[in-house]
Amino acid sequence: MENHLSQFNLADKVAVVTGASEGIGRDIALGLANAGADVIVCSRRENLLQEAKTEIEKSGRRAEVFVLDVAKVGEIEKLKDFILNKFGRADILVNSAAFTVTKPAWDMQEDEWDTMMDTSFKGLFFCCQIIGALMKKQGYGKIINLSSTFSRSIIPGRSVYGGIKAGVSHLTEALAAEWAPDGLRVNALAPTATLTPSRQSLLQGKVLEKILSRIPLGRLATGEDLVNAAIYLASPASDFVTGHTLFVDGGWIAAS
């Protein structure tokens, strides 16, 4: 009888995680390492990446640090060279890097728009394209893009963010269809509000009550919820899944 649990094993896979210095990206980087992968952690903050590297190495896996601003395509090209130099391959890419502004649409400024788009959409696309090219040569790879419940539903103050995340989910479908013949599986993870250090100050009081009222399972997402889903999408267990946005949302979208 086939050992189905072995299909979730990431032993000897090489994973690249952007936005890995904190929050969901950091949790996923550590989770992929615990599942057996070696990990290249990327973000703009080297000190936090070094801390993530130390944690990964405690699990017995190899970790490398690459300081990256995904809004700069030239830096993504340098990341590609770094991957080839250090590992010679990339099996998994997690696009978690993002920049978020929460404010009424009337008040959104051009520089805020540009930074959100350049980081959360342009940077994500070119990471897919440039790192995905390594996977194309191998004939196999897993790309996981971070979307959101706000790709399908919305609350005040999240208009631009929601538009970007809807774009991420749609782009994920487009790339999945286009790159399937090359052996690439492209999927998205869409969390609801997630309890991370950067969100703790926002997720309090009436804001927290309102959000919880829309989540049938009655709690916020945790990093571990996203880790488990990411391992599934990164592993052979999901080899026949592509172009899908997996909502890890406690029922938010179903109840909407």
- Break the chain into its structural domains and give their ranges: 10-248
| Residue 73 clears pLDDT 60, i.e. is over it | yes
The dihedral sign for the CA sequence 198, 57, 237, 243:
positive
Residue type, 56: I
CATH class label, 10-248: alpha beta
d(CA 212, CA 169): 24
Chain position carrying tokens 């190495």: 57
- Region 125-147: mean pLDDT is 98
pLDDT (tens digit per residue) in 152-175: 999 899 999 999 999 999 999 999
Q: In this structure, are residues 98 and 151 in contact, taking their beta carbons and an 8 Å threshold?
A: no
pLDDT value of position 209: 84
Backbone angles phi, psi at 36, to 5 degrees: 120, -5
Q: In this structure, are residues 25 and 15 in contact, taking their beta carbons and an 8 Å threshold?
A: no
pLDDT value of position 198: 61
Q: In this structure, are residues 80 and 131 in contact, taking their beta carbons and an 8 Å threshold?
A: yes
Q: In this structure, are residues 133 and 183 in contact, taking their beta carbons and an 8 Å threshold?
A: no
pLDDT value of position 42: 98
Residues taking part in catalysis = 161
pLDDT confidence tier of residue 2, bands split at 50, 70 and 90? low
pLDDT value of position 208: 82
